[in-house]
Amino acid sequence: PTVEMPTPEEIEAKKRAEREQKTPKTTEELAEQVSVMKANNQEIQAIKLVREQTGMSLYDAKNYVDSIAAKTQ
C-alpha cells in the first residue's frame, strides 16, 4: 500500500484552517484576555495564548502583549 504525502499547499491550507478555528471572535476579546492575564502576572501564558490564537511569531506576540499592557496602565 502506498501512502500519499500531502503537498506543501495542502499542509499550509490545513495550518491556516486550524489558526482560523482558534482565532477569537474579535481582537477585543483577545486584548481583554491578555490584559487580565498580564495584570495577574501571567505574561508568558498571555504570549502563548496570542501565539496560539493568531499564529504570530514569539517576537510579535511579546510586542503585542506589551502594547496591550501599556494601553491599560
Cβ-contact 29, 23 below 8 angstroms: no
Q: Is the pLDDT of residue 8 over 80?
A: yes
pTM for the whole thing? 0.63
Answer whether residue 20 shows pLDDT above 70: no
Computed over every residue of the chain, the mean pLDDT equals 86
CA 10/CA 3 separation, integer angstroms: 15
Cα distance between residue 65 and residue 49, in whole Å: 10
